[in-house]
Amino acid sequence: MRPKISEEVVCSTGFHYNRVCLQRQERNNSVMRQKIESFIETVRQIETEIARVLVGQHNTVRSTVVALIAGGHVLLEGVPGLGKTLLVKTLAETVQAKFSRIQFTPDLMPADLTGTNIMHEHPDGTRQFVFQPGPVFSNIVLADEINRATPKTQAALLEAMQEHSVTVAGTTHRLDGLFFVLATQNPLEMEGTYPLPEAQLDRFFCKILVPFPTGDEMLGILARTVSVQTPAVEKTFSSEAILEMGRLAREIPSAEEITRYAVNTVMRSHPDLPNAPEFVKKYVRFGASPRGAQALLLGAKINAVLDGRFNVSKEDIQEIALMVLRHRIILNFEGQAENVSTDAVIKKLL
């Protein structure tokens, strides 16, 4: 017969159990807090190193770093001379990673990106086809003036961006570790360019509009670029550390209300759905995709971590919304005719 356990023992055992759980929770919170502090410090150091070379563009740099941590890709759009290429090169120098620059031109072929099989002759006289990797097999890839290449070449980048793999002659080659594509495009010159298809635009985590520098920033640019001394950065961060930061950001919890707010923002951007606002039905042709909702929530989590918080707020969603949705919402003819911007549509949705 099983002996009876007194209420005193039960209370004592329960108290001890609760105390152990509380201590364990405090230790977990302390470890998470240390990780977040290290996370914030790493981002601050990256931005400081980039600021040694690039004058101003603080929002552009922060948005690019957020996309890097999220494991997404960035489309930088701006007129020539704003430092888009310099930003990418400096970021690659800051992170200890393999960097390659691809200058997109109309005669660029898919094999120039992905690589090709070449005939290799062994010392014993035998010959064998060996895969020669292309420049896409890097950790950070700069696709300079991506809209100048033909659609066939642009499509060659599609699989690598989404699947982190490249298929050549029926054989799939994996892109292991950090893989970050930063593409630049010039909105002014339209002759000789091929607009990116919507399917490829959706592969980009965010689209960043690079602003023109202020007068004070222009003075700083001249002071750095027409002098003898050339500023340099230090390679202080490993690509593995960037991947670990991305995993940490995904651990940040999001309340159901916040997740539903992100979902509703994306769903209301579709004019054919019943809950779409009138201005969406009037000006929008296609709304944001499910990838938009994923980018919205993940970017909000990273924004919350950079603010030192363990939870996501609506303000985080609103702060990240423009850059992750502006290239995913397609305006109709009336919206284009009335010069309505996608940013204005997103602000109304929020």
Q: Is residue 278 part of a domain?
A: yes
Averaged pLDDT for residues 127-135: 78
pLDDT, residue 284, reads 87
For residue 123, pLDDT beyond 80: no
- Give per-residue pLDDT as tens, 21-47: 666 666 666 777 787 888 888 888 887
Task: Check residue 255 and give left, alpha or beta (phi > 0: left; psi -120 to 50: alpha).
Answer: beta
Lowest mean pLDDT among 102-106, 187-191, 199-203: 187-191
Are residues 232 and 285 located together in one domain of the fold? no
Say how far residue 60 (Cα) sits from the centre of its chain. 12
For residue 9, pLDDT beyond 60: no
Are residues 71 and 201 located together in one domain of the fold? yes
Q: Is residue 124 part of a domain?
A: no
**CA angle in degrees (0–180, nearest 5) for 232-44-295:** 110
Are residues 187 and 310 located together in one domain of the fold? no
User: What DSSP line would sit under 1-52, residue for residue?
Assistant: -PPPPPHHHHHHHHHHHHHHHHHHHHHHHHHHHHHHHHHHHHHHHHHHHHHT
Last residue of a domain, one of 193, 221, 250: 250
Q: Is residue 29 part of a domain?
A: no
Last residue of a domain, one of 250, 266, 285: 250
Q: Is residue 7 part of a domain?
A: no
pLDDT, residue 12, reads 44
pLDDT, residue 189, reads 59
Are residues 164 and 199 located together in one domain of the fold? yes
Q: Name the DSSP letter for residue 316.
A: H
User: Which residues form the domain of 156?
Assistant: 35-108+137-250
CATH code for position 330:
1.10.8.80
3-state secondary structure of 166: strand
CATH code for position 183:
3.40.50.300
CA distance 104 to 295: 27
For residue 141, pLDDT beyond 70: yes
pLDDT, residue 261, reads 92
C-alpha distances in angstroms, 305 versus 42, 58, 257, 262?
12, 18, 19, 18
Tokens found for residue 47: 């931005």
For residue 14, pLDDT beyond 60: no
More confident residue, 26 or 86: 86
Q: Is residue 291 part of a domain?
A: yes
Are residues 281 and 344 located together in one domain of the fold? yes
pLDDT, residue 13, reads 47
- At 301, is the pLDDT very low, low, confident or very high (cuts 50, 70, 90)? very high
Are residues 235 and 87 located together in one domain of the fold? yes
The rounded percent of the chain whose pLDDT value lies above 70 is 85
Are residues 184 and 275 located together in one domain of the fold? no
Q: Is residue 300 part of a domain?
A: yes
CA distance 245 to 71: 10
Are residues 57 and 98 located together in one domain of the fold? yes
More confident residue, 337 or 233: 337
pLDDT, residue 322, reads 92
pLDDT, residue 6, reads 43
Decide: residue 211, CB within 10 A, 0-12 exposed, 13-18 middle, 19+ buried: middle
Contact 235, 294 (CB under 8 A): no
- At 3, is the pLDDT very low, low, confident or very high (cuts 50, 70, 90)? very low
Last residue of a domain, one of 224, 250, 276: 250
pLDDT, residue 229, reads 67
Q: Is residue 123 part of a domain?
A: no
Are residues 75 and 209 located together in one domain of the fold? yes
Are residues 148 and 262 located together in one domain of the fold? no
Amino acid at 234: E
User: What DSSP line would sit under 168-184, residue for residue?
Assistant: ETTEEEE--S--EEEEE
Task: Check residue 34 and give left, alpha or beta (phi > 0: left; psi -120 to 50: alpha).
Answer: alpha
Lowest mean pLDDT among 184-188, 285-289, 345-349: 184-188
- At 263, is the pLDDT very low, low, confident or very high (cuts 50, 70, 90)? very high
Averaged pLDDT for residues 105-114: 84
Q: Is residue 180 part of a domain?
A: yes
- At 262, is the pLDDT very low, low, confident or very high (cuts 50, 70, 90)? very high
For residue 130, pLDDT beyond 80: no
Are residues 168 and 261 located together in one domain of the fold? no
**Among the listed residues 187, 200, 310, the one whose alpha carbon sits nearest the alpha carbon of residue 248:** 310
Provide the number of structural domains found in the chain: 2
Are residues 193 and 239 located together in one domain of the fold? yes
Averaged pLDDT for residues 294-313: 89
Mean pLDDT of the chain: 80
Amino acid at 255: A
Q: What are phi and psi of 137, to 5 degrees?
A: -85, 70
Tokens found for residue 262: 């992100």
pLDDT, residue 98, reads 83
